[in-house]
Amino acid sequence: MIGTDQTSVIEREDLQSLFDVVIARGYVPVGPTVRDGAIVFDEVCRVEDLPGGWTEDQDAGSYRLKRRHDTALFGYNNGPHSWKKYLFPPRAKLWEAVKTENNGLTVREAEDTKRPFAFIGVRSCDLHALQVQDAVFMNPKHPDPLYAGRRGKALVIVVNCGQAAKTCFCTSMNTGPRAEGGYDLALTEILDGDDHYFIAEPGSPDGYSLLAGIPHREADSADVLAAQECTKRAAEQIGRKIEISDVKDLLYRNYDNERWDALERRCLTCANCTMACPTCFCSKVEDVTDLTGGHAERWREWDSCFTMDFSYIHGGSVRPTTRSRYRQWLIHKLATWLDQFGMSGCVGCGRCITWCPVGIDLTEEVRLIRASEKDKEADDG
Amino acid sequence: MQPQAEMRSPMCPYPFRVLEIAEEMPRCMTMRVAPDDATGDTAFAPGQFYMIYVFGHGEVPISTSGDPAKSGELTFTVMAVGSVTQALCALKQGDVIGLRGPFGRAWPVDLVKGRDVIVMAGGLGLAPLRPSIYHMLSNRNDYADLALLYGTRQPQSIIFRQTLAHWREDAPIDVEVTVDTAGRDWPGKVGVVTELLMGRRPDPSKTSALICGPEIMMRFSAYALMELGIAAENIYVSMERNMKCAVKMCGRCQYGPFFVCADGPVFAFNQVEQLFRIREL
């Protein structure tokens, strides 16, 4: 899309009108903001709510906010939150039921009362994560009404990355750092001396309409080049890598690899990786009644394949060991997901690496499994 | 986007009323239920399952155990092993439960037409198989020889006694029952279910098998059939995993690349043979 005559420039001082326009059009703007020592997603109505001048250091098991030397509004990468918390809420009522006369039962589906969301500051990896969850929750045979309803109405405003965290590996997963489509509007933030502006590329009728409501000028070739340089810089900063061309077959061959035993000793089964992951979709349900016993509700909550309860059937948990639970997670993410949904379950955002309390790095695990095969070949040879 | 009318959550149950509930053995009940309003449908294929909701207690996946030709009602056989199944087994005639379904892939009763069919059941595994036997007996000319080999722990844990007696005496199906352990008053066979295959000479080119029971029973049965020359693709098993949604959304019933709720519960053995060898999958 970049380079078309619709590519525009929005000056930094005009960015507030982006928020004003989405609010005027009935959206709840949500995006990054600083809270509790991290950059999280919440309602953001003003440019001042954004983490201006902040960035962070991320590495395996480590996340620290720090000040930038400039006033960039999007000069950081992903924090612990992902957009799934809006479309697939951590806890949501599915329905309520009442006992009626003669022992009868009436079930009423929960209504979604939320106004549509405008996601502001979606990174390219997270844009792909939305598409990964679309395949789960918008299966045409039985879509999830809550997810499908919110997703259909949501406005997606991308901000392309101008820097990479140490845990990023979108370039391995072909998910970034530049968003190539599937958004309403994509912004690239440019800081050049005293100039501070955004290259804006509309990607949908809603995006064109949104842009029309914001003061902007046509981008020239220098602007377009600056935007390309920005994401190129991010790509060059990426240090982590997964060789994905054959990763499915590699993992399918290695259900019995000794690396899983090493993970048995390291992994705490805390489930942080699955909570932080923008694509993990597993859930449990909770059935509750009120004190009269005549009113019942079902709630859906995020769950994790790292819990014992997750695979419990009569007689015990199918995956009682840490080894088998980590293996389930990793092989699902990088291998079985391909068979299930025709795409990888990993978008290379690196959250699971940063937010693992013991710093387990899936890129390293894949590399070690691959290396163990090579060692074995050498021994056999 | 789907039109609003089709957006009813796949998680919403429909009310069904208990017509009759009877004990199979201690802690195991068979119940017949019928739709309590015009929204309920009762068409299913043998081997499919429903999510059964007990008011305030929760939901469990249970395969139908009744005759698929019988319209207007559904039959389920439930063992009280957890809180929801205990509540289910405590139901009385006239109580209302919630149902969603049917879900999942059925026994391949059309695919095995014209062939000999060996049905192997272990314990409560007879329940999900009974609809397939009803179906094959109702369409008896579509099949060659039929056999039911049923193994259970002890004589007291034999379910569907009347059905078995009827099939044994009056139906064109060869029924054999064995128990793992029994007292001296048991006149029947003692031994594991695979022993019922001894002495049988199935023709591998025209025999298919349907197996349901504990995973270890299905594994040993499938390998015993393969030793008799029956190909893995002609052997079918029914898998069990934890399930919350039954529509590939909750992630819990994953079995390697499969979702048991939608890709199963019935699998051809050649689809899952490699997975059977992996522990804690």
* ipTM of the shown complex: 0.94
B245 touching chain A per CB within 8 A: yes
Judged by a CB distance cut-off of 8 A, whether residue B36 touches chain A is yes
Q: Are A54 and A195 members of one domain?
A: yes
Task: Please list every residue in chain A whose beta carbon sits closer than 8 Å to the beta carbon of residue B57.
Answer: 287
For the stretch A354-375, pLDDT in tens is 999 999 999 999 999 999 998 8
Q: How many residues in chain A?
A: 381
- Is residue A27 included in any domain, yes or no? yes
For residues A175 and A266, membership in a common domain is answered with no
Q: Do A178 and A271 belong to one domain?
A: no
* Residue A316 belongs to domain spanning: 247-286+301-380
- The answer to whether B2 contacts A148, with C-beta atoms less than 8 Å apart, is yes
How far apart are the CA of A48 and the nearest CA of chain B, in angstroms?
35
The answer as to whether A362 is a domain residue is yes
Task: Identify the CA nearest to B280 among candidates A311, A268, A304.
Answer: A311
| Per-residue model confidence as pLDDT tens digits over B220-265 | 999 999 999 999 999 999 999 999 999 999 999 999 999 999 999 9
C-alpha closest to that of A54 among A79, A30, A29: A79
A-B contacts (CB, under 8 Å) = 133
B279 touches chain A (CB under 8 A): yes
pLDDT at B1 over 80: no
User: A238 versus B3: which is more confidently predicted?
Assistant: A238
Same domain, A168 and A274: no
pLDDT at A381: 66
Between CA A368 and CA A89 the distance in angstroms is 35
In this prediction, residue A1 carries a pLDDT of 44
The number of domains in chain A is 2
What domains can be seen in chain B, in order of their start residue? 8-103 (2.40.30.10), 116-238 (3.40.50.80)
Q: CB–CB of B69/B58 below 8 Å?
A: no
How far, in Å, CA of A250 to CA of B276, rounded? 19
What does the pLDDT read at residue B41?
Answer: 86
Please tell me the predicted confidence (pLDDT) of residue B7: 61
Looking at the fold, whether A172 and A41 belong to one and the same domain comes out as yes
Q: Is B106 on the interface with A (CB under 8 A)?
A: no
**Looking at residues A147-156, what average pLDDT do you find?**
97
Q: Three-state SS string across chain A, please? A: CCCCCCCEEEEHHHCHHHHHHHHHCCCEEEEEEEECCEEEEEECCCHHHCCCCEEEEEECCEEEEEECCCCCCCCCCCCCCCCHHHHCCCEEEEEEEEECHHHCEEEEECCCCCCCEEEEEECHHHHHHHHHHHHHHCCCCCCCHHHHHHHHHCEEEEECCCCCCCCCCHHHHCCCCCCCCCCCEEEEEEEECCEEEEEEEECCHHHHHHHHCCCCEECCHHHHHHHHHHHHHHHHHCCCCCCCCCHHHHHHCCCCCCHHHHHHHHCCCCCHHHHHCCCCCCEEEEEEECCCCCEEEEEEEECCCCCCHHHEECCEECCCCHHHHHHHHHHHHHHHHHHHHCCCCCCCCCHHHHCCCCCCCHHHHHHHHHHHHHHHHHHHC
Question: Is A227 in contact with A186 (CB distance < 8 Å)?
Answer: no
Is the predicted pLDDT of residue A2 greater than 70, yes or no? Answer: no
Per-residue confidence (pLDDT) for residue B233, from 0 to 100 = 98
Q: Provide mean pLDDT across the span B10-34.
A: 96
Q: With respect to residue A367, please indicate whether it lies within any of the assigned structural domains.
A: yes
Looking at the structure, do residues A61 and A185 belong to the same domain, yes or no?
yes
Same domain, yes or no: A17 and A164: yes
Task: Decide if pLDDT at A311 tops 80.
Answer: yes
Residue B117, pLDDT score: 98
- Let me know whether A218 and A276 are in one domain: no
Closest by CA to A347, choosing from A161, A48, A111, A133, is A133
Reading the block at residue B153, the tokens are 């722990």
Q: pLDDT tens digit string along B44-92?
A: 999 999 999 999 999 999 999 999 999 999 999 999 999 999 999 999 9
**% chain A with pLDDT above 70:** 98
Among A219, A237, A255, the domain boundary falls at A237
Closest-CA residue of A relative to B7 is A145
Q: In chain B, which residue's Cα lies nearest the Cα of A251?
A: B256
**Cα distance from B9 to chain A (closest Cα, Å)?**
6
> Would you state the pLDDT for residue A105?
92
B-chain residues near A289 (CB < 8 A)? 55-56
pLDDT at res. B5? 44
pLDDT of residue A41 exceeding 60, the answer is yes
Distance CA A49, CA A23 (A): 15
Q: Are B207 and B115 in contact (CB under 8 A)?
A: yes
Does A198 share its domain with A315?
no
pLDDT in tens, A185-243: 999 999 999 999 999 999 999 999 999 999 999 999 999 999 999 999 999 999 999 99
Measured at the CA of A80, the angle between CA A75 and CA A83, to 5 degrees, comes to 85
Residues of chain A contacting residue B14, judged by C-beta atoms under 8 Å apart? 107
Are the C-beta atoms of residues A86 and A30 closer than 8 Å to each other?
yes
Check pLDDT > 50 for residue A286: yes
A314 contacts B96? CB cut-off 8 A? no
Question: Is pLDDT of B174 > 70?
Answer: yes
- Please check whether residue A118 lies inside any domain of the structure: yes
As a whole number, the mean pLDDT across chain A is: 96
CA distance A165 to A112: 36
pLDDT of A316: 93
Convert the pLDDT of each residue in B82-101 to its tens digit: 999 999 999 999 999 999 99
What CA–CA distance (Å, rounded) separates A149 from A160?
26
Does a structural domain hold residue A277? yes
Residues A254, A230 within the same domain: no
Q: What percent of chain B has pLDDT over 90?
A: 94
A149 and A221 together in one domain: yes
Question: What does the pLDDT average to over B121-135?
Answer: 98
Judged by a CB distance cut-off of 8 A, whether residue B82 touches chain A is yes
The residue-averaged pLDDT of A375-379 equals: 85
- Answer yes or no: is A349 within a domain: yes
Whether chain A has a CB inside 8 Å of the CB on B249: the answer is: yes
A20 to A16, A17, A24: CA distances (angstroms): 6, 5, 6
Regarding whether A229 and A197 lie in a shared domain, the answer is: yes
Asked whether residue A103 is domain-assigned, the answer is no
Residue A285 carries which side chain, given as an amino acid letter? V
Are A142 and B10 inside 8 Å of each other by CB?
A: yes
Question: Looking at A237, A261, A277, which one is the last position of a domain?
Answer: A237
Q: Which of B19, B252, B275 to mutate to test the interface with A (most CBs of A within 10 A)?
A: B252
Residue A61 counted as domain residue: yes
Take residue A378 and report the two structure tokens written for it: 């050498």
Residue A285 reports pLDDT greater than 50: yes
